């Protein structure tokens, strides 16, 4: 499971000229599920998203989490996070979950954030979306649930 998170002062998603999700501040989370993902991958990603200390404290140091700040999350499905560009110039997406499975993981991810007490807005799964954001910092962080497996081996 993968997520690209951006600390934002505002973000919104538009589908067919209609705003379907919008937040004032918090995290824009571009989310993708892989073919071999498990509930452990989901739990890892949710924990990271809500607990990463990437918001400033009183001294301006990145020391507060989404939960600490009461920030919001705008979650947008983006299977292209699984692009494999090692061969040729046309990306392969064979590592991404199939659309039905991807939707289930996306919905479970959103539900898990809600259970953590985060206000969540979403895009529209499978739609052509326009995402607008103001990256605050800028702060952009790549998360991959495979990292939890690698860190156990190290």
- Return the half-sphere exposure (C-beta side, CA atoms, 13 A cut-off) of residue 46: 21
Residue boundaries of the structural domains of the chain: 2-153
Question: At a CB cut-off of 8 Å and minimum separation 6, what does 151 contact?
Answer: none
Write down the pLDDT at residue 77: 97
One-character DSSP codes across 85-136: -SSSSS-B-TTBPPHHHHHHHHHHHHHHHHHTT-EEEE--TTS--EEEEEEE
Question: At a CB cut-off of 8 Å and minimum separation 6, what does 152 contact?
Answer: none
Question: At a CB cut-off of 8 Å and minimum separation 6, what does 34 contact?
Answer: 1, 2, 41, 82, 95, 96, 97
Write down the pLDDT at residue 153: 54
Give the distance, in angstroms, between the CA of residue 77 and the centroid of all CA atoms in the same chain. 8
Residues recognised as catalytic: 80
Question: What CATH code would you report for 2-153?
Answer: 3.50.80.10
Residue with tokens 């898990």: 112
Q: Which residues pair with 154 in a beta bridge?
A: none
Neighbour count for residue 141 (Cβ, 10 Å): 14
Question: At a CB cut-off of 8 Å and minimum separation 6, what does 96 contact?
Answer: 32, 33, 34, 35, 79, 81, 82, 102
Residues of the chain with pLDDT under 50: none
| CA 59/CA 37 separation, integer angstroms | 39
Write down the pLDDT at residue 149: 73
């Amino acid at each position: 499971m993968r997520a690209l998170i951006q600390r934002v002062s505002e973000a919104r998603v538009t589908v067919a000229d209609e705003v379907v999700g919008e937040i004032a501040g918090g995290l824009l989370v571009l989310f993708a599920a892989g073919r071999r993902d498990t509930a452990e991958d989901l739990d890892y990603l949710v924990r990271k998203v809500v607990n990463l200390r990437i918001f400033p404290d009183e001294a301006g140091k990145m020391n507060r989490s989404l939960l600490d700040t009461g920030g919001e999350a705008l979650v947008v499905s983006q299977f292209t996070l699984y692009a494999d560009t090692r061969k040729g110039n046309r990306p392969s997406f064979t590592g991404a979950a199939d659309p039905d499975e991807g939707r289930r993981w996306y919905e479970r991810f959103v539900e898990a954030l809600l259970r953590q007490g985060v206000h969540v807005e979403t895009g529209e799964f499978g739609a052509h979306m326009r995402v607008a954001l103001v990256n605050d910092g800028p702060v952009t962080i790549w998360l991959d649930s495979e990292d939890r497996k690698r860190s156990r081996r190290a």
